[in-house]
Amino acid sequence: MVELDERANNTGVEKSTDKRTRSSEDPFIKHYFSRIDPDIANSFTDEQKHAIKQMFGARGYAKHPVEIRRSIPFGRHRFYLIFLLGRERRAYERLKSEGQASGYVAYALASAFWLAPAIMIAALVHFFG
């Protein structure tokens, strides 16, 4: 019996050591925990580190059908431009809580905004073409 308990305890120690090794190899954990005091970083458990990673939403980049990322020089400064186009995957509740889901009126206004130049060009071509 004592031997079985010792084996179970040793297995648990090995597993926790493996978890520490895995979490220390995680690029997200390395990046963010390199920015704080090493004594404080070492005080976090693997579960706490995993919870922090989930909180920050470290999921990597989503793939979009159109994805343009550019750094643009402007005088002595640089600005970062991102243009993403793809299907909306966020839940309606999240969009609503962020104030981005405002119903059909917003879609009608956005459509009018984007279609107005095309309609004006078509009319000009029709009358003066």
> What is the predicted pLDDT for the residue at 102?
65
pLDDT at 39: 92
Q: How far apart are CA 75 and CA 77, in angstroms?
A: 5
Residue 52 pLDDT: 87
* Beta strands in the chain, from DSSP E residues, in sequence order: 66-74, 77-85
- Give backbone dihedrals phi and psi of 78, rounded to 5 degrees, phi first: -125, 140
Dihedral over alpha carbons 111, 117, 120, 125 (to 10 degrees): -120
Instruction: Give, for all 129 residues of the chain, the pLDDT tens digit.
Output: 444 444 444 444 444 444 444 555 788 888 888 888 989 988 999 999 888 888 887 555 667 888 889 999 989 999 999 888 888 887 888 887 887 766 677 778 888 888 888 899 999 998 887
Q: How far apart are the first and last CA of the chain?
A: 96
Q: So what's the pLDDT on residue 79?
A: 92
